Amino acid sequence: SQQGEEDPQALSIQEGENATMNCSYKTSINNLQWYRQNSGRGLVHLILIRSNEREKHSGRLRVTLDTSKKSSSLLITASRAADTASYFCATGNSGGSNYKLTFGKGTLLTVNP
């Protein structure tokens, strides 16, 4: 079953605009990660935020985490056509010695030149 749910499912913006994607999840987590996937290719890790962190930056990426609302957001500033891809949030859960990384269904971002 999916742990994270991204919103919106699809987003189309113009180059230079900011893109915001949201992720909601259901159970407690150790961390939340965002990944990017270009069509049919492997996923690439973008950023990891731990459950005791509220905000993290990496280049043009900004991630927030609100554990009370069980939600996270990914902001891509000054978007470029090359940012066109699917973006997934993934939640890391550790139940005892078992560790899962569970992905949502993703947001398809299209950045128009």
The residue (of 20 and 103) whose beta carbon lies closer to other proteins is 103
Q: Are 109 and 21 in contact (CB under 8 A)?
A: yes
Question: Looking at residue 26, what DSSP letter applies?
Answer: S
> Min. distance of Cβ 67 from other proteins in angstroms?
14
Tokens encoding 67: 């554990």
> Min. distance of Cβ 113 from other proteins in angstroms?
26
Within 64-109, where are the H helices? none
The residue (of 78 and 82) whose beta carbon lies closer to other proteins is 82
Q: Are 23 and 84 in contact (CB under 8 A)?
A: no
The residue (of 15 and 110) whose beta carbon lies closer to other proteins is 110
Q: Are 106 and 20 in contact (CB under 8 A)?
A: no
> Min. distance of Cβ 90 from other proteins in angstroms?
8
Residue where the block lists tokens 């230079």: 16
Contact residues for other proteins, defined by CB under 8 A: 1-2, 30-31, 33, 35, 40-45, 48, 50, 88, 90, 92, 94, 97-106
